């Protein structure tokens, strides 16, 4: 229902005419060179917005200390690629780490910057292992409190100015797209895809606003009762053949991207010198409500991402097949997260006169059916269409797409 209301609103913007944007393209000409833009301007504006949003939005955990500059760059690019292909997954991880950091800040009475630094593996013991579990914090919290917030900020490669500029770039791009709609100028598919990404990446930056950016080296802290506190698991670097081994099969990055699950640091080798890429200190209280909150954020962001693509429902495409691929893909991407959230909403609300536990089996069957039939072959295919189509449609843009916004309408004497 929400999807069709959004599509109906998009049709209203287009004044109800199926080919109105095509008519606008015929009416809008670029006779004045000062009121025109080129294909390069369109592509460059989109790429600059995507890069600016991604580079500042992605806040990776502290990498292993023995990584070279090339490995660190590839690690950063890997996260950027995931943020472009599946931004809602990065939003879910950012939301999870934000909630964990808020819990640590409140439970242990530390600033939020310190809490984020704990979650990202920024504090390590004298033997080199990160303070990666909630049960280790009591033995190190006194040393963590003595670390100045300025020292942590000094390790960050970003500040309020750089993050603010990135948000400003995204907002400015959004204003340009809205102005084109208001002046009945066509908005290209690549601009709509960039707009959807800019809106989603803004939420990532807001969740990670207090998280230090691109920290390369951790801070060593000393526990209250020695190198190996009694409340922490024994991590002897001289005994690498311990029973705790790295899980076989999928890596933590792939498991995060596919199963919406994030690894615990305790599941990794005792000789680890850094937390995994998608790891956070997980709170022990209220895990069910926490997971539901993170899942709700992810589904809402995913539905919003697809709904933004529906704004150009009536735009002119080079071919009819491309038009229907865009319409079907954007509709499915917008509707699927809402459908996936139905089983969880039923479980929480306890509708149909049954207790939540009584619905576990049918809801699990429904959830598995949606996941196997919808997410794997269809959802991923639709997302690929929404990535490829903005590039293929550049070969035949309408004439009105090259007409720039007349800002003098809003700012006189400009």
190 touches 43 (CB < 8 A): yes
pLDDT at 386: 92
pLDDT at 343: 66
Minimal CA–CA distance to 223: which of 138, 129, 280, 108? Answer: 138
pLDDT at 29: 56
Q: Is residue 36 classed as helix, strand or coil in its secondary structure?
A: strand
pLDDT at 379: 82
Share of the chain above pLDDT 90, in %: 19
> pLDDT class for 23, splitting at 50, 70, 90?
very low
b/e map 45-68, b = 16+ CB within 10 Å? bbeebbebbbbbbbbbbbbeeeee
Residue-wise pLDDT for 139-187, tens only, equals 899 999 999 988 898 888 877 777 777 778 888 888 889 899 888 888 9
| Residue 193 in this model has a pLDDT that exceeds 90 | yes
**Segment 275-284 mean pLDDT:** 78
Q: How far is CA 250 from the centre of its chain?
A: 21
Give me the torsion for CA of 270, 61, 199, 387, rounded to 10°: -70
Tokens 């800040």 appear where?
Answer: 105
Type and span of the H or E element at 51:
helix 39-57
Burial of 192 (0-12, 13-18, 19+ CB in 10 A): buried
Flag the least confident range among 17-21, 26-30, 187-191, 210-214. 17-21
Mean pLDDT of all residues belonging to the chain: 75
> pLDDT class for 247, splitting at 50, 70, 90?
very low
Residue-wise pLDDT for 205-237, tens only, equals 889 888 888 888 899 998 765 444 444 443 333
102 touches 94 (CB < 8 A): no
b/e map 9-21, b = 16+ CB within 10 Å? ebbeebeeeeebb
**Taking the model in full, what pTM does it have?**
0.75
pLDDT at 7: 41
Distance CA 293, CA 160 (A): 27
Flag the least confident range among 90-104, 218-232, 310-324. 218-232
> pLDDT class for 5, splitting at 50, 70, 90?
very low
Q: What are phi and psi of 196, to 5 degrees?
A: -60, -40
pLDDT at 297: 85
pLDDT at 154: 87
Q: What is the DSSP letter of 217?
A: S
Of 27-31, 332-336, 370-374, give the range with the top mean pLDDT: 332-336
pLDDT at 27: 46
| Residue 349 in this model has a pLDDT that exceeds 70 | no
Tokens 């660190």 appear where?
Answer: 72
Distance CA 151, CA 172 (A): 33
Q: Which tokens sit at 341?
A: 């959230």
Burial of 376 (0-12, 13-18, 19+ CB in 10 A): exposed
């Amino acid at each position: 229902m929400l999807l069709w209301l959004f599509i109906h609103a998009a049709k209203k913007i287009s004044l109800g005419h199926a080919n109105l944007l095509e008519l606008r393209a015929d009416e809008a000409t670029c006779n004045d060179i000062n009121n025109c833009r080129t294909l390069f301007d369109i592509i460059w504006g989109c790429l600059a917005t995507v890069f600016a949003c991604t580079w500042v939005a992605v806040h990776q955990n502290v990498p292993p200390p023995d990584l070279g500059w090339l490995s660190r760059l590839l690690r950063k690019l890997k996260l950027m690629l995931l943020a472009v292909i599946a931004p809602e997954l990065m939003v879910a991880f950012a939301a999870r780490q934000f909630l964990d950091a808020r819990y640590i800040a409140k439970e242990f009475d530390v600033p939020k910057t310190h809490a984020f630094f704990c979650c990202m593996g920024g504090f390590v013991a004298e033997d080199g292992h990160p303070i990666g579990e909630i049960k280790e914090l009591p033995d190190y919290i006194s040393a963590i409190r003595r670390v100045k917030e300025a020292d942590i900020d000094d390790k960050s490669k970003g500040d309020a100015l750089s993050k603010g500029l990135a948000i400003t770039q995204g907002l400015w791009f959004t204003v340009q797209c809205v102005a084109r709609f208001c002046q009945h100028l066509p908005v290209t598919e690549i601009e709509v895809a960039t707009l959807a990404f800019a809106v989603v990446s803004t939420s990532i930056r807001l969740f990670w606003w207090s998280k230090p950016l691109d920290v390369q080296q951790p801070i060593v802290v000393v526990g209250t009762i020695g190198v190996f506190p009694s409340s922490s698991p024994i991590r002897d670097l001289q005994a690498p053949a311990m029973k705790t081994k790295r899980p076989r099969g999928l890596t933590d990055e792939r498991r995060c991207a596919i199963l919406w699950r994030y690894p615990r640091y305790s599941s990794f080798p005792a000789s680890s010198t850094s937390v995994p890429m998608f790891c956070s200190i997980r709170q022990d209280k209220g895990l069910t409500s926490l997971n539901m909150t993170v899942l709700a954020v992810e589904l809402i962001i995913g539905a919003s991402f697809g709904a933004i693509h529906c704004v150009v429902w009536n735009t002119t495409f080079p071919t009819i097949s491309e038009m229907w691929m865009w319409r079907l893909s954007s509709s499915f991407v917008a509707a699927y997260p809402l459908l996936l959230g139905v089983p969880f909403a039923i479980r929480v609300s306890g509708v149909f006169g049954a207790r939540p536990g009584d619905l576990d089996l049918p809801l699990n069957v429904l959830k598995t059916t949606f996941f196997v039939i919808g997410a794997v072959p269809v959802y991923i295919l639709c997302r690929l269409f929404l990535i490829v189509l903005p590039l293929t449609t550049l070969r035949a843009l309408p004439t009105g797409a090259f007409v720039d916004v007349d800002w003098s309408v809003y700012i006189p004497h400009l």
